[in-house]
Chain A
Amino acid sequence: MHRSLRVLLVLLLLAPAGTMAGQSAPAGAASRLRVPVTVDTLPNGLTLIVHEDHSVPNVTTNVWYHVGSGDERPGRTGFAHLFEHLMFMGSENAPYPQFDRLLEAAGASNNGSTTEDRTNYFEAGPSNSLPLMLWLEADRMGWMLPTMDSVKVDLQRDVVKNERRQGVENQPYGIATDILPPALYPKDHPYSWPVIGSMTDLSAAALEDVKDFFRQYYAPNNATIVVAGAVQTDSVRRLVRQYFGNIPRGPAITRPAPASFTVRDTSIVAEDRVQLPRLYLAWHTVKANHRDDAPLSILSYLLTGARNSRLTNALVYQGEVASGVSAFSDTKRLDGDYSIVATARPGVGLDSLKGMIDRELERLSREGPTARELEQAKNATESSFLNALEFVSAKADQLNEYYYFQGTPDYFQRELDELRAVSAEDIRRVVHTYLRGPRVMLSIVPQGRRELAATRRVVQ
Chain B
Amino acid sequence: MTGCCNRRAVTLAVGALAAPLALSAQTSAFPEPPPSTPAATLVVPRVRSASLGNGIQLRIVEQPELPLAQVTLVVAGGSRLDGDAPGLASFMAGMLDEGAGARDALALQSEIAYLGASLSAFADWDRVVVSLKAPVRTLPAALDLMADVVMRPTFRATEVRRQRDLRLTSLLQRRDQPNALADLAFNQVVFPAAHPYHRCALGDSASVARFDSVGVRSFYDRLLRPDRATIYVVGDVDEPQARRLVQERFGAWRGAAVAMPAPPLLPPVPAREVSRVFLVDKPQAAQSVIIIGWPGVERTTPDYAAITVMNTVLGGSFSSRLNTNLRETKGYTYGASSGFSWRVAPGPFSASASVRTDVTDSSLVEFFRELRAIRDTLVPAVEVARAKAYVELRLPGSLESTTQVANQLAQLAMFGLTLEELPRFAAQVRAVTSADVQRVARRYLAPDQAAIVVVGDLGRIRPGIEALRLGEITVLEVGQIAR
> A residues near B, CB below 8 A?
3, 6, 9-10, 13-14, 17, 20-21, 55-58, 69, 81, 84-85, 88, 92-95, 97-98, 100-116, 124-129, 131-132, 135, 138-139, 142-143, 154-159, 161-163, 165-167, 169-170, 172, 177, 180-181, 184, 194-196, 242-243, 246, 273-276, 282, 305-308, 313, 316-317, 320, 323, 330, 332, 337, 339, 345-346, 372, 375-376, 379-380, 382-384, 386-387, 389-392
Q: Is B397's CB within 8 Å of the partner chain A?
A: yes
Interface stretch of the complex, out of B53-61, B112-120, B302-310? B112-120
Alpha-carbon distance A114/B6, docked complex (angstroms)? 7
Whether the pair B4, A162 counts as a contact (CB closer than 8 A) is no
Whether the pair A379, B116 counts as a contact (CB closer than 8 A) is yes
CB distance from B171 to the nearest CB of A (A): 10
Alpha-carbon distance A138/B39, docked complex (angstroms)? 22
- Ranked nearest first, the 10 interchain pairs of A and B with the lowest CB-CB distance are A107-B393, A107-B15, A195-B3, A158-B331, A131-B34, A169-B286, A172-B176, A109-B12, A57-B40, A383-B116
A113-B6, A115-B3, A243-B31 known; A382 vs B116 contact (CB < 8 Å)? yes
Interchain pairs with CB closer than 8 A, number: 309
Q: Is B259's CB within 8 Å of the partner chain A?
A: no
Alpha-carbon distance A93/B29, docked complex (angstroms)? 11
Q: Which residues of B contact A177 (CB under 8 A)?
A: 3
Q: For the side of the interface on B, what is the size category? A: 35 or more
Contact among A124, A139, A195 with B397 in the assembled complex (CB-CB below 8 Å) = A124
22 A-B pairs with C-beta separation under 8 A? A57-B40, A81-B5, A93-B26, A106-B14, A106-B16, A107-B389, A109-B13, A111-B11, A114-B3, A114-B5, A132-B18, A161-B356, A162-B287, A163-B5, A166-B334, A170-B287, A195-B4, A243-B30, A305-B113, A307-B109, A323-B170, A386-B68
Alpha-carbon distance A57/B66, docked complex (angstroms)? 17
Q: Which residues of B contact A387 (CB under 8 A)?
A: 68, 133
Which residue of chain B lies nearest to A167 when distances are taken between CB atoms in the complex? Answer: B5
Q: Which residues of A contact B113 (CB under 8 A)?
A: 305-306, 376, 379-380
Q: Which residues of A contact B397 (CB under 8 A)?
A: 56, 58, 124-125
Alpha-carbon distance A81/B334, docked complex (angstroms)? 14
A100-B318, A159-B331, A162-B355 known; A127 vs B165 contact (CB < 8 Å)? no
A98-B21, A143-B30 known; A13 vs B67 contact (CB < 8 Å)? yes
Which residue of chain A lies nearest to B29 when distances are taken between CB atoms in the complex? Answer: A246
Whether the pair B393, A125 counts as a contact (CB closer than 8 A) is yes
CB distance from A351 to the nearest CB of B (A): 19
Whether the pair A108, B3 counts as a contact (CB closer than 8 A) is no
Whether the pair B29, A105 counts as a contact (CB closer than 8 A) is no
Whether the pair B66, A389 counts as a contact (CB closer than 8 A) is yes
Alpha-carbon distance A163/B3, docked complex (angstroms)? 12
Alpha-carbon distance A21/B399, docked complex (angstroms)? 31
Contact among B105, B162, B236, B354 with A165 in the assembled complex (CB-CB below 8 Å) = B354
A105-B16, A113-B6, A126-B15 known; A165 vs B389 contact (CB < 8 Å)? no
A104-B386, A107-B394, A383-B116 known; A308 vs B6 contact (CB < 8 Å)? no
Whether the pair A165, B356 counts as a contact (CB closer than 8 A) is yes
Q: Which residues of A contact B40 (CB under 8 A)?
A: 57, 126-128
Which residue of chain A lies nearest to B329 when distances are taken between CB atoms in the complex? Answer: A155
Q: Which residues of B contact A391 (CB under 8 A)?
A: 400-401
Q: Is B7's CB within 8 Å of the partner chain A?
A: yes
Q: Which residues of B contact A139 (CB under 8 A)?
A: 30
Q: Is B94's CB within 8 Å of the partner chain A?
A: no
Alpha-carbon distance A389/B333, docked complex (angstroms)? 34
The proximity string for B residues 315-333 relative to A, scoring 1 for CB distances below 8 Å and 0 otherwise, is 0011100001001110111
Whether the pair B285, A170 counts as a contact (CB closer than 8 A) is yes
A111-B7, A126-B393, A317-B105 known; A106 vs B18 contact (CB < 8 Å)? yes
Which residue of chain A lies nearest to B176 when distances are taken between CB atoms in the complex? Answer: A172
Extra contacts besides A20-B137, A273-B176, A390-B66 (5): CB < 8 Å? A20-B138, A81-B5, A101-B386, A124-B13, A375-B114
Q: Which residues of A contact B403 (CB under 8 A)?
A: 390
Q: Which residues of A contact B176 (CB under 8 A)?
A: 172, 273-275
A111-B12, A276-B172 known; A105 vs B19 contact (CB < 8 Å)? yes
The proximity string for B residues 54-98 relative to A, scoring 1 for CB distances below 8 Å and 0 otherwise, is 000000000001111000000000000000000000000000000
Q: Which residues of A contact B21 (CB under 8 A)?
A: 98, 101-102
A125-B397, A323-B170, A390-B402 known; A330 vs B287 contact (CB < 8 Å)? no
Taking each of B19, B30, B162, B401, which has the highest tally of chain A beta carbons within 10 Å of its own beta carbon?
B30
Contact among A56, A93, A308 with B396 in the assembled complex (CB-CB below 8 Å) = A56
Whether the pair B401, A390 counts as a contact (CB closer than 8 A) is yes
CB distance from A153 to the nearest CB of B (A): 11
Alpha-carbon distance A45/B18, docked complex (angstroms)? 31
CB distance from A4 to the nearest CB of B (A): 11
Alpha-carbon distance A345/B171, docked complex (angstroms)? 12
Alpha-carbon distance A158/B359, docked complex (angstroms)? 12
A107-B389, A275-B173, A276-B173 known; A128 vs B39 contact (CB < 8 Å)? yes
A132-B33, A135-B31, A320-B162 known; A97 vs B328 contact (CB < 8 Å)? yes
Alpha-carbon distance A169/B355, docked complex (angstroms)? 12
Q: Which residues of B contact A196 (CB under 8 A)?
A: 3, 5
Q: Is B135's CB within 8 Å of the partner chain A?
A: yes
Taking each of B7, B110, B400, which has the highest tally of chain A beta carbons within 10 Å of its own beta carbon?
B7
Whether the pair A323, B169 counts as a contact (CB closer than 8 A) is yes
Q: Which residues of B contact A98 (CB under 8 A)?
A: 21, 23
Which residue of chain A lies nearest to B284 when distances are taken between CB atoms in the complex? Answer: A273
Contact among A273, A313, A330, A346 with B169 in the assembled complex (CB-CB below 8 Å) = A346
Contact among A10, A93, A124, A275 with B66 in the assembled complex (CB-CB below 8 Å) = A10
Which residue of chain A lies nearest to B159 when distances are taken between CB atoms in the complex? Answer: A317
Q: Which residues of A contact B4 (CB under 8 A)?
A: 113-115, 195
Contact among B12, B37, B169, B392 with A110 in the assembled complex (CB-CB below 8 Å) = B12
Q: Which residues of B contact A276 (CB under 8 A)?
A: 169, 172-173
Q: Is B278's CB within 8 Å of the partner chain A?
A: no
Chain B residues 120-173 with CB under 8 Å of chain A are 133, 135-138, 162, 165-166, 169-170, 172-173
Q: Is B469's CB within 8 Å of the partner chain A?
A: no
Whether the pair A125, B15 counts as a contact (CB closer than 8 A) is yes
A104-B14, A105-B17 known; A20 vs B116 contact (CB < 8 Å)? yes
CB distance from A312 to the nearest CB of B (A): 9
A105-B385, A346-B169 known; A92 vs B3 contact (CB < 8 Å)? no
Whether the pair A100, B3 counts as a contact (CB closer than 8 A) is no
Alpha-carbon distance A102/B6, docked complex (angstroms)? 20
Q: Which residues of B contact A101 (CB under 8 A)?
A: 21, 319, 386
Alpha-carbon distance A175/B113, docked complex (angstroms)? 34
Q: Which residues of B contact A69 (CB under 8 A)?
A: 3
Whether the pair A3, B65 counts as a contact (CB closer than 8 A) is yes
Q: Is B2's CB within 8 Å of the partner chain A?
A: yes
Alpha-carbon distance A273/B175, docked complex (angstroms)? 10
CB distance from B237 to the nearest CB of A (A): 13
CB distance from A259 to the nearest CB of B (A): 21
Q: Which residues of A contact B30 (CB under 8 A)?
A: 92-93, 138-139, 142-143, 243, 246
Whether the pair A13, B172 counts as a contact (CB closer than 8 A) is no
